[in-house]
């Protein structure tokens, strides 16, 4: 239980204060905060609320979305990411998770170049705030509009090109479980000191919605215990973050859902 972390979006119907209170009462010690969960508080107030309940902030989700055909739009995205870094610092989050983006109407190669340029432009601000940028590769089904970074190997190459201690990787089982080189890529990412965050949920068969039909651990086909063992074998002791977008689970009783998360974590992950 000491590594279990829950993303605020997983229990989306709960406002932050309710989520924090209920997680703490259930013995959860870590939380990843989505930006939309902060208001009406300031990020500093949200951070205090979380720490007052004995929880630590694992990450702020999320920045990114760098690619755009127009230079002005790309500059705007970089500004927005600077604000994200400020929010993460005020919240007390050591990492900002990046969903890197992709722009329909231009090539993936162009989007990838713009992602590298966008992150490079953020590095001084990451250094100033002390918040690391965690690049999250997204499943290739999102390559058209959400992320042109789709594998751990690509994320590692991007980190190597940026060559900065302020950049690393968020590994999410939902996005990378299918990779036939996953075990090796996890080991390499850890050896390169890039493994910052570890997200889990399950892949339902059939998946009825590309965004909001993620499964609770054990409901799908991802070998979570195996992948978690590969993560642990590297010495990585990062929180294990439950991140589930599910219209079906959001409609259920959230107290029962929280109990199920904890049970599924013990049964299918550890
Ligand atoms: Zn994730």
Band of the pLDDT at 252, cuts 50, 70, 90? very high
CA of 263 to the centre of ligand 1 (A): 20
**Mean pLDDT confidence for 46-51:** 98
pLDDT for 7: 98
Nearest C-alpha neighbor of 100 from the set 57, 44, 157: 157
Q: Closest by alpha carbon to 59, among 27, 79, 85, 41?
A: 85
Please write the tens of the pLDDT for every residue from 91-103. 999 999 999 999 9
Distance CA 189, CA 115 (A): 19
Over pLDDT 70: what percentage of the chain? 100
**How confident is the prediction for the chain on average, in pLDDT?**
98
Residues 109-115 have a mean pLDDT of 98
In angstroms, the CA 222 to CA 122 distance is: 34
Taken in order of first residue, the domains within the chain and their CATH numbers are 4-268 (3.20.20.150)
Predicted TM-score (pTM) of the model is 0.97
Q: Which of 163, 95, 159 shows the shortest CA–CA distance to 126?
A: 95
The alpha carbon of 157 and the centre of ligand 1 are apart by a number of angstroms equal to 19
- Going from the Cα of 155 to the center of ligand 1, the distance in angstroms, rounded, reads 14
The confidence score (pLDDT) of residue 133 equals 98
Q: How far is the CA of 202 from the centre of ligand 1 (A)?
A: 12
DSSP state of 7: E
Q: Report the pLDDT value the prediction gives residue 173, as an integer from 0 to 100.
A: 98
Closest CA to 5 of 29, 33, 21: 29
Q: Which tens digits make up the pLDDT trace of 223-248?
A: 999 999 999 999 999 999 999 999 99
In angstroms, the CA 265 to CA 115 distance is 34
Q: How far is the CA of 152 from the centre of ligand 1 (A)?
A: 13
Q: What is the mean predicted confidence (pLDDT) over 67-87?
A: 98
Sign of the alpha-carbon torsion through 187, 188, 189, 191: positive
pLDDT number for residue 269: 95
C-alpha dist (Å) from residue 262 to 12, 200, 225, 250: 17, 13, 15, 16
In angstroms, what is the span from residue 244 Cα to ligand 1's centroid?
Answer: 9
At residue 209, the pLDDT reads 96
Pairing of strands 4-7, 240-242: parallel
Q: Determine the distance separating the centroid of ligand 1 and the alpha carbon of 39, expressed in angstroms.
A: 21
DSSP 10: G
Q: What separation in Å is there between the alpha carbon of 228 and the centre of ligand 1?
A: 15
Distance CA 55, CA 49 (A): 9
Residue indicated by tokens 């970089």: 78
pLDDT of residue 63: 98
According to the model, what pLDDT value does residue 54 have?
98
| C-alpha of residue 172 to centroid of ligand 1, in Å | 5
pLDDT of residue 92: 98
Q: How far is the CA of 168 from the centre of ligand 1 (A)?
A: 14
User: Ligand 1 center to residue 136 CA distance, Å?
Assistant: 7
Q: Compute, in angstroms, the gap from residue 30 CA to the centroid of ligand 1.
A: 15
pLDDT value at residue 234: 97
Alpha carbon of 135 to ligand 1 centroid (Å): 10
**pLDDT digit string (tens) for 130-169?**
999 999 999 999 999 999 999 999 999 999 999 999 999 9
């Amino acid at each position: 239980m000491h590594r279990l972390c829950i993303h605020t979006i997983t229990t989306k119907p709960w406002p932050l204060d309710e989520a924090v209170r209920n997680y703490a009462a259930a013995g959860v010690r870590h939380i990843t905060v989505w930006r939309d969960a902060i208001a009406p508080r300031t990020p500093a107030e949200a951070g205090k609320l979380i720490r007052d309940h004995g929880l630590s902030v694992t990450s702020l989700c999320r920045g990114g979305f760098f690619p755009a055909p127009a230079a002005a739009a790309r500059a705007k995205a970089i500004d927005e990411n600077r604000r994200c870094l400020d929010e993460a610092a005020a919240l007390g989050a050591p990492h900002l998770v990046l969903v890197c983006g992709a722009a329909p109407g231009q090539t993936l190669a162009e989007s990838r170049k713009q992602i590298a340029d966008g992150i490079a432009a953020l590095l001084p601000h990451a250094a100033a705030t002390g918040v690391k940028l965690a690049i999250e590769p997204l499943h290739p089904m999102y390559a058209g509009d959400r992320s042109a970074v789709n594998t751990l190997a690509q994320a590692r190459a991007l980190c190597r090109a940026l060559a900065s201690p302020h950049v690393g990787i968020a590994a999410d089982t939902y996005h990378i479980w299918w990779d036939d080189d996953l075990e090796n890529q996890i080991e390499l990412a850890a050896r390169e000191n890039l493994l910052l965050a570890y997200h889990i949920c399950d892949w339902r068969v059939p998946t009825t919605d590309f965004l909001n039909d993620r499964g609770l651990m054990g409901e799908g086909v991802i070998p979570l215990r195996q992948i978690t063992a590969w993560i642990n074998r590297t010495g990585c002791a990062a929180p294990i973050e439950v991140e589930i977008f599910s219209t079906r689970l959001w409609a259920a009783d959230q107290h029962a859902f929280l109990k199920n998360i904890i049970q599924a974590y013990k049964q299918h992950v550890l």
